[in-house]
Amino acid sequence: AKLKKRPYTIFIQPELCYTKEKICDVYDVAGDILITPTKKIKNKAMPKKRK
């Protein structure tokens, strides 16, 4: 089934795990925001208007 609207996706981690290397595939889930106890990082690659 198709969703009418893409849900807002939030990832939560106990500590920041980050790499500049591409480690994902095209079929992986992309988050809108990543929240850790010390940082909140928004995904700038996501479009501003949500569909």
Specify the pLDDT at position 9.
Answer: 94
Specify the pLDDT at position 8.
Answer: 92
pTM of the model: 0.70
Specify the pLDDT at position 42.
Answer: 93
CA neighbor of 41 nearest in space, from 31, 26, 51: 31
Tokens 């290397």 -> residue: 21
pLDDT at 51 over 60: no
Q: Are 32 and 42 in contact (CB under 8 A)?
A: yes
Six-digit token string for 12 = 């939560």
pLDDT digits (tens, 9 = 90+) for 2-44: 889 888 999 999 999 888 898 989 899 889 999 999 999 998 8
